[in-house]
Every structure is written in C-alpha cells, then in structure tokens.
Amino acid sequence: MKRRRGFTLVEMIVVLAIGSTVLTLAIGMVDQSMLISSATKSGCQRQLATNRFLEQFRSDIHQGTKVDSDSPDSLTVFSSDDSKIVYRTEHNRILREQFKASQSLRREELFLDDRELAGFEFQAANSLAVLQISSRTDFVSQTLRVDRRVEAMVGLTPTSISISEKSQ
C-alpha cells in the first residue's frame, strides 16, 4: 500500500473551522478590552475635569468678598477688584463666567452626565457657599444620591486656614 503524504480536504476544513473560531473569540476579547479601556479613560478624564472645576469653585469663593445666590441654579461671587464670577446650572452643565466692568473675560463649562444634577446653596449666617452634584438613582422615583459636595467659606485665605489649623 502506498503511503500518502499531506492532509485530506476534510482535515483541512476542520482545522480552518477551529482556527477561525479561536480567532473570532480572540478578536471579541480584544474588542471588549478596548471598549473597557476607552470607558475607563473617559471616566478618568471626566473625574479630573470635575475635580479641577470644583477646586476652581472653592478658590473663587475663598478669594471672594461677597456671595449672592437668588436661586439654587445660580451663584455670584464678588471680588474686591470689582470683578465678579457667575456660576449657573443649565441642562446637564455648570457654567462659570468671569466678568470685569460688565465685560465677559472668561467662560468655562463642566458637562454633566444625563443622570446628574447640580445646585448651589449659600448660607449667609456663616458665609458658606455650597456646590452639590447629585445623581438620579432611579428615573421613575427621581431618587437623588449626592456624588460631590463642595463647601467653601467666603474670604477664607491660606493664612487664615493655617491659623485655624494650629488653633485646633
């Protein structure tokens, strides 16, 4: 009997089917890992932008001489150099606009997720300004969960912070 060298057509088809199945599974896993990586990266960028915006809010309040808030959707910070900074919330974003002599100098905005809401509060008794970002946990019952809350006292300078820390 003559010995054949090589593979039969059926063997080749089976190997190709197994190889394509393994390759399809591998491509699916790579795609999933790329989607997860992209979501993680955008989440980190949003977190950094939010942190920077909240630190700016805190700094503005500390450097301000007077704060006025006529609604939970807006807050105005007045400075000693006749400039003012207006914070307001609009649909899914927080706006920060800096004015000097009624002229807009700078405008920034922080975009929020569709589930997030932002609001301002000013407690005149203790000169405390608050910016709160909450998330809807359920669209039906409109239940809110506080995600971020920044409290800052008007006119609190770095020297007064260090003095108050030493006294405690």
What pLDDT, on the 0 to 100 scale, is given for residue 115? 85
How many angstroms separate the CA atoms of 8 and 52, rounded?
Answer: 66
How many angstroms separate the CA atoms of 77 and 66, rounded?
Answer: 6
Averaged confidence pLDDT in the chain: 87
Question: What are 147-159's pLDDT values in tens digits?
Answer: 889 999 998 865 4
How many angstroms separate the CA atoms of 91 and 114, rounded?
Answer: 9
- How far is residue 141 from each of residues 91, 119, 136, 147, 148, measured CA to CA in Å? 20, 19, 9, 18, 21
Pairing of strands 74-78, 83-90: antiparallel
The ranges assigned to domains in the chain are: 33-158
pTM above the 0.95 mark? no
